[in-house]
Amino acid sequence: MLETGTAAPDFNLPDQDGNKQSLSSRRGKWVVLYFYPKDMTPGCTTEACNFNDTLPDFKNLNTEIIGISKDSVVRHRKFADKYNLGFTLVSDEDSAVCEAYGVWQLKKNYGKEYMGIVRSTFIIDPDGKIAKVYPKVKVKEHHLDVQEALKELI
């Protein structure tokens, strides 16, 4: 997994509307880039809704939220519509960006091993460097932890 102080890998991925999104187009802003396993699942829904409910607070901190999973553009659109999400979801179907950030890892569940996204968040500064890393995120209060870190970093 990438570490604090390193350059955040850029990407050019489709969002929930099929429009290409890149990290480099957001220079000058803070970005919360969060990786999550799958749309419409309980933990991922909680995480997305928590970020969405506090979106005005993030905007006041000049910060954009971007969620990334391997789900398709169509599935992202359904997820965004169902929960009225007001931030960008990007589709990394080939997992290239997940691999670049080191979140595509071997996971274990009920004795089975498989490759998947380890829920992780990166705070990226206006110069495109990683300012903080949250590996293996627990969703309940995560959005508040990220906000507090941003207040200290900014």
Active-site residue numbers? 44
Query: Is there a contact between 123 and 153 (Cβ–Cβ < 8 Å)?
Result: yes
List, in sequence order, every residue forming a beta bridge with 109; answer none if it has no partner.
112
CA distance 53 to 64: 14
Backbone angles phi, psi at 149, to 5 degrees: -65, -40
Q: Which amino acid is present at 51? A: F
Query: Is there a contact between 113 and 8 (Cβ–Cβ < 8 Å)?
Result: no
Three-class SS of residue 139? coil
